[in-house]
C-alpha cells in the first residue's frame, strides 16, 4: 500500500511512481490548479488508478465577487485550471465548499495567534484540519480509499510498524516540516507521488504531457487568504480594528520608541522596525499583555532552550525519555541538533546544541530522526 523509501539515490530521468498493484482503487487528488497537484493526478491516472479531482473552496474575501481572481490557490483561475486539467485527463472534477471550516479553523486561529503576540503557521493547521481530516472524511463518502497531494515528501514504514513522513529525496523542495501533525490513519490513506521528483522534472513531465499552461505556472508561496497588503492589514480588516501602537522597550523595560501594533512584528524580525538605535535591532519578544515589543542586539536574540506544546509523534506512539536529534524551528531553517525531553503527554523541553536567533512562539518545532519525522509541537515558551 505504501512505499518503504530507504534509498537516497535518484534515477535519471525522473523516477516513475511505484504504487501498489490493485484493482484500480479510487483516489481523490486535492487539485489546486497548480503544477504539482496536476502532476499527481496525471501520474496516478497513468498508473490506472481511478482518479477524482477535487478542488477545495476555502476562502472568499468579504465584499468581493466570488469569481474574482487574485492568483491564490482557490480563486477562479485556479479552479478553472484544475477543471481544464481534469477534462484533459478524462477524470471527474468536483469543487467542495470548505469555506466555513477554513474560516473557523485556520483564519480565526491565524488572527488570534498574532493578536496574542505569537507567529502562527496556518499551512500546518490547514493541512491537519482541512486537507486531511476534512477532505478525507468527504472522500470516504464518495467511496475513495486514498487521497493524494502534491507535497514533496515521502511516507516511510518503520520496523516498529509505524508510518512516518520522510523528507523529499531532493531537499530543496522538501515539505515534510508542514506535515508533522498528520495521524497514523491519515498516513495509511495518503499518497505523495512527488517525493522522489525534482521540480524541474515535474515541469518537464507536464510540458511533455501537453499541460503547457500549468507547466509554466509559478509556485504559490504566500498565505493564500492574504491577497492584498500585509498580514497585519488583513487582521485589521478582519477584526475591524486598527492595530494599536505601543512601546518598543529594551530587555530592562526602558522605552526606546513607538511600534505600530503587535501584529506587524514577529520574534527574530530585524527589517521594517523603523527605529534608529545605533545598532541593528532584533525583535526579542512580544508582550501582548503590555502591548510592548522587546528589542535588542543579535547577541541578545540568541536562544537555545524552549518548550514545545501540543506535541504529536509519528515514528513512535509517545516519547518516554530524552533523545538527541535534529530540530527545525522554521520551515526554511536548517535543522539544529537538540536534546528533546518529554515533560508530559503534550509538552517537551528542547535544548539546542547552540543558540540561534528567531525562535518564535507559535511556530512549530519539528523533530527528525535521520531523514524522517520523529514528531513535533508548537513553540510556546522561550526559556533561555
- Enzyme catalytic residues: 126, 224
31 in a known ligand binding site = yes
Q: Taking each helix axis from N to C terminus, what angle separates 199-208 and 35-46, rounded to the nearest 10 degrees? A: 60
Pairwise CA distance, residues 305 & 160, whole Å: 30
List phi, psi (to 5°) of 226: -100, 90
Which cell numbers in the block locate residue 374?
Answer: 520523529
233 in a known ligand binding site = no
89 in a known ligand binding site = no
H/E segment holding residue 300: helix 298-301
Q: CB of 41 within 8 A of CB of 53?
A: yes
34 in a known ligand binding site = yes
Q: CB of 183 within 8 A of CB of 189?
A: no
Torsion of CA 45, 222, 268, 170, to 10 degrees: 30
1 in a known ligand binding site = no
75 in a known ligand binding site = no
Residue with the three cell numbers 481530516: 133
Q: CB of 286 within 8 A of CB of 358?
A: no
Pairwise CA distance, residues 103 & 71, whole Å: 19
Q: Length of the chain in residues, anyone?
A: 384
Q: CB of 209 within 8 A of CB of 88?
A: no
32 in a known ligand binding site = yes
Pairwise CA distance, residues 253 & 356, whole Å: 23
90 in a known ligand binding site = no
Cα 310 to the center of its chain, rounded Å: 16
Q: CB of 279 within 8 A of CB of 299?
A: no
275 in a known ligand binding site = no
Residue with the three cell numbers 505600530: 260
Cα 85 to the center of its chain, rounded Å: 25
72 in a known ligand binding site = no
Cα 225 to the center of its chain, rounded Å: 14
Secondary structure of the chain: what % helix, strand, coil (to 5)?
A: 25, 25, 45
Binding-site residues for ATP sit at 30-37, 56, 150
Binding-site residues sit at 30-37, 56, 150
Amino acid at each position: 500500500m505504501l512505499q518503504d523509501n530507504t534509498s537516497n539515490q535518484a534515477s535519471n530521468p525522473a523516477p516513475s511512481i511505484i504504487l501498489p498493484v490493485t484493482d484500480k482503487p479510487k483516489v481523490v487528488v486535492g487539485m489546486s490548479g497548480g503544477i504539482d497537484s496536476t502532476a499527481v493526478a496525471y501520474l496516478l491516472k497513468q498508473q490506472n488508478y481511478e482518479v477524482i479531482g477535487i478542488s477545495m473552496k476555502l476562502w472568499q474575501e468579504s465584499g468581493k465577487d466570488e469569481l474574482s481572481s487574485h492568483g491564490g490557490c482557490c480563486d477562479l483561475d485556479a479552479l478553472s485550471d484544475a477543471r481544464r486539467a481534469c477534462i484533459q485527463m478524462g477524470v471527474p472534477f468536483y469543487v467542495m465548499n470548505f469555506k466555513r471550516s477554513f474560516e473557523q479553523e485556520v483564519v480565526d486561529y491565524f488572527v488570534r495567534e498574532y493578536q496574542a503576540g505569537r507567529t502562527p503557521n496556518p499551512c500546518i493547521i490547514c493541512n491537519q484540519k482541512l486537507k486531511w481530516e476534512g477532505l478525507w472524511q468527504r472522500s470516504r463518502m464518495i467511496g475513495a480509499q486514498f487521497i493524494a497531494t502534491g507535497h514533496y515528501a515521502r511516507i516511510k514504514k518503520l520496523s516498529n510498524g509505524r508510518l512516518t513522513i520522510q523528507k523529499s529525496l531532493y531537499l530543496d523542495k522538501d515539505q515534510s516540516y508542514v506535515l508533522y501533525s498528520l495521524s497514523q490513519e491519515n498516513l495509511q490513506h495518503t499518497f505523495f507521488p512527488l517525493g522522489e521528483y525534482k521540480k524541474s522534472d515535474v515541469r518537464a513531465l507536464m510540458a511533455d504531457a501537453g499541460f503547457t499552461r500549468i507547466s509554466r505556472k509559478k509556485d504559490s508561496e504566500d498565505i493564500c487568504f492574504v491577497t492584498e497588503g500585509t498580514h497585519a492589514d488583513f487582521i485589521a480588516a478582519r477584526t475591524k480594528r486598527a492595530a494599536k501602537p505601543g512601546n518598543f522597550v529594551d530587555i530592562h523595560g526602558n522605552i526606546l520608541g513607538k511600534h505600530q501594533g503587535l501584529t506587524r512584528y514577529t520574534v527574530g524580525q530585524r527589517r521594517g522596525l523603523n527605529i534608529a538605535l545605533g545598532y541593528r535591532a532584533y525583535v526579542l519578544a512580544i508582550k501582548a499583555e503590555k502591548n510592548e515589543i522587546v528589542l535588542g542586539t543579535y547577541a541578545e536574540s540568541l536562544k537555545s532552550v524552549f518548550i514545545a506544546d501540543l506535541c504529536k509523534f509519528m515514528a513512535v506512539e509517545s516519547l518516554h525519555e530524552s533523545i538527541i536529534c535534529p530540530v527545525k524551528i522554521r520551515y526554511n531553517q536548517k535543522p539544529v541538533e537538540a536534546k528533546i525531553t518529554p515533560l508530559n503527554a503534550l509538552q517537551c523541553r528542547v535544548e539546542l546544541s547552540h543558540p540561534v536567533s528567531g525562535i518564535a512562539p507559535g511556530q512549530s518545532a519539528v523533530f527528525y530522526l535521520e531523514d524522517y519525522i520523529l514528531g513535533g509541537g508548537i513553540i510556546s515558551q522561550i526559556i533561555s
